[in-house]
Structure 1
Amino acid sequence: MNKQYDVLVIGAGNGGLASAAWMAKEGKKVLLLEKHNLPGGCAGSIVRGRFEFELTLHELCQMGPEGTGEVRKLLDDIGTDVEWVAMNEAFHTINTHPETGFDVEMPIGVDAFVDAMEREVPGSRASMENLMEVNRMIFDAISWLASYQNNPPKAAMLLKWKDFMKMASVPADEMLRRLGVPDKAREIYESYWDYLSVDCTRVSFVVYSFMVYTYLTLKPYIAKKRSFEIVLALEQRIRDFGGEIRYNTPVKRIDIRDNKARGVELADGTYIPCKRIISNIMPTVVFDKMVDPKEVPARDKKLCEARTLGPNGFVIYLGLDASADQLGIKGYDTFVRETADTEVLFEKCKTRKSHRRIFNYSCLNRAIPDASEPGTCMIMFLLLYTADAFDDVTEENYFKIKDQIVEETIDYFEEAAKVKIRDHIEELVTASPVTLARYIGTPQGNCYGYAVDMWDGMLPRTMSGEKEDYTVKGLRFCGGHGTQMDGYSQAYLSGREVARYTLKDMEEGR
Structure 2
Amino acid sequence: MNKQYDVLVIGAGNGGLASAAWMAKEGKKVLLLEKHNLPGGCAGSIVRGRFEFELTLHELCQMGPEGTGEVRKLLDDIGTDVEWVAMNEAFHTINTHPETGFDVEMPIGVDAFVDAMEREVPGSRASMENLMEVNRMIFDAISWLASYQNDPPKAAMLLKWKDFMKMASVPADEMLRRLGVPDKAREIYESYWDYLSVDCTRVSFVVYSFMVYTYLTLKPYIAKKRSFEIVLALEQRIRDFGGEIRYNTPVKRIDIRGSIAKGVELADGTYIPCKRIISNIMPTVVFDKMVDPKEVPARDKKLCEARTLGPNGFVIYLGLDASADELGIKGYDTFVRETADTEVLFEKCKTRQSHRRIFNYSCLNRAIPDASEPGTCMIMFLLLYTADAFDDVTEENYFKIKDQIVEETIDYFEEAAKVKIRDHIEELVTASPVTLARYIGTPQGNCYGYAVDLWDGMLPRTMSGEKEDYTIKGLRFCGGHGTQMDGYSQAYLSGREVARYTLKDMEEGR
Query: TM class, shorter-chain normalised?
Result: over 0.9
Runs of 4+ in 1 over 3 A off after TM superposition: none
1-structure distance, mates of 2:171, 2:374? 45
Question: CA separation in 2, counterparts of 1:38 and 1:4?
Answer: 24
Instruction: Give me the TM-score of the superposition, normalised by structure 1.
Output: 1.00
1:151 and 1:10 mapped to 2: Cα distance?
26
8 Å contact from structure 2 (residues 265, 271) kept in 1: yes
Distance 1:484 1:439 in 2: 23
Contact 2:90–2:106 (8 Å) recurs in 1: yes
Whether the 8 Å contact between 2:449 and 2:485 is mirrored in structure 1 is yes
Q: Return the offset for 1:356.
A: 1.2
3-state DSSP of counterpart to 2:468: coil
Deviation of the 1:486 alpha carbon: 0.1
Pair 1:413-2:413 in alignment: yes
Deviations 1:220-245 (A, max 9, x none): 00000010000000000000000000
The 3-state SS of whatever aligns with 1:389 is: coil
* Shift of residue 470, structure 1, vs aligned partner: 4.3
Residues 166-207 of structure 1: per-residue CA shift (max 9 Å, x gap): 000000000000000000000000000000000000000000
- What are the ranges of 5 or more consecutive residues in structure 2 without an aligned counterpart? none
Quick one: distance in 2 between partners of 1:482 and 1:418?
Answer: 39
Aligned residues: 510
1:91-121 superposed Cα distances (whole Å, 9 cap, x missing partner): 0000000000000000000000000000000
Q: What is the alpha-carbon distance in structure 1 between the residues aligned to residue 136 and residue 248 of structure 2?
A: 46
Deviations 1:394-439 (A, max 9, x none): 0000000000000000000000000000000000000000000000
Contact 2:361 2:379 in 1 (8 A): yes
- C-alpha distance in structure 1 between counterparts of 2:55 and 2:468, whole Å: 35
CA distance in 2, matches of 1:468, 1:105: 42
The residue aligned with 1:42 is: 42
The alpha carbon displacement at 1:259 in A equals 1.0
* Distance in 1, Cα, partners of 2:392 & 2:94: 31
Task: Give the whole-Å Cα distance in 1 for the aligned partners of 2:221 and 2:483.
Answer: 22
Counterpart check, 1:461 vs 2:461? yes
Hey, what's the Cα distance between the residues in 1 that align with 2:142 and 2:115? 26
Q: What's the CA shift string for 1:479-510, capped at 9, x where partnerless? A: 00000000000000000000000000000001
Deviations 1:24-68 (A, max 9, x none): 000000000000000000000000000000000000000000000
Note the alpha carbon deviations across 1:272-322, whole angstroms, 9 max, x for none. 000000000000000000000010011110001110000000000000000
Is the 2:300–2:470 Cα contact (8 Å) retained in structure 1? no
Q: Distance in 1 between matches of 2:59 and 2:456?
A: 24
Q: Which residue of 2 aligns with 1:131?
A: 131
**Cα contact 2:13–2:43 (8 A) shared by 1:** yes
Secondary structure class of the residue paired with 1:426: strand
Q: Does 1:316 align with 2:320?
A: no
Q: Name 2:15's counterpart in structure 1.
A: 15
Name the structure 2 match of 1:25: 25
Secondary structure (helix, strand or coil) at the match of 2:467 reads: coil
Separation of aligned partners in 1, 2:23 and 2:425 = 45
SS in 2 for 1:262: strand
Query: How far 1:208 sits from its partner (Å)?
Result: 0.0
Gaps of 5+ in 1: none
Corresponding position of 2:236: 236
Across the aligned residues of Structure 1 and Structure 2, the Cα RMSD in angstroms comes to: 0.4
Distance 1:473 1:192 in 2: 37
1:244-280 C-alpha deviation (Å, 9 max, x unpaired) = 0000000000000011100000000000000000000
Q: In structure 1, how many angstroms separate the alpha carbons of the residues matched to 2:434 and 2:351?
A: 15
**CA offset digits 1:308-351 (Å, max 9, x no partner):** 00000000000000000000000000000000000000000000
Describe the SS at the equivalent of 2:186: helix
Instruction: Say which SS state the counterpart of residue 316 (structure 1) adopts.
Output: strand
Secondary structure at 1:209 match in 2: helix
| Equivalent residue number for residue 96 of structure 1 | 96
Instruction: Trace 1:54-69 onto structure 2 (pairs within 5 A).
Output: 54-69=54-69
- C-alpha distance in structure 2 between counterparts of 1:330 and 1:197, whole Å: 25
Moved more, 464-473 or 27-36: 464-473
Say yes or no: does 1:264 pair with 2:264: yes
Post-superposition offset of 1:443: 0.2
- 2:374 aligns with 374
Per-residue deviation, residues 451-495 of structure 1 (Å, max 9, x unmatched): 010100000000110001141110000000000000000000000
Hey, what does 1:498 align to over in structure 2? Answer: 498
- State the secondary structure of the residue aligned to 1:465: helix
CA distance in 2, matches of 1:114, 1:468: 40
Between the aligned partners of 2:457 and 2:298, the Cα distance in structure 1 is 21
Q: Matches of 2:57 and 2:468 in 1, distance apart?
A: 32
Aligned partners of 1:228 and 1:169: how far apart in 2? 36
Q: Distance in 1 between matches of 2:211 and 2:298?
A: 34
Displacement after TM superposition at 1:130 (Å): 0.1
Q: Aligned equivalents of 1:180 and 1:158: distance in 2?
A: 26
Distance 1:94 1:470 in 2: 41
Helix, strand or coil: the match of 2:90?
Answer: strand
The answer to whether the 8 Å contact 2:43/2:55 transfers is yes
Q: Distance in 2 between matches of 1:342 and 1:299?
A: 33
- Local SS of the residue matching 2:82: coil
Q: Identity over aligned residues, as a percent? A: 98
Distance in 2 between residues matched to 1:370 and 1:98, nearest whole Å = 37
Q: Distance in 2 between matches of 1:447 and 1:334?
A: 20
Distance 1:275 1:131 in 2: 48
CA distance in 1, matches of 2:327, 2:471: 55
Any idea what SS the aligned residue of 2:466 has?
coil
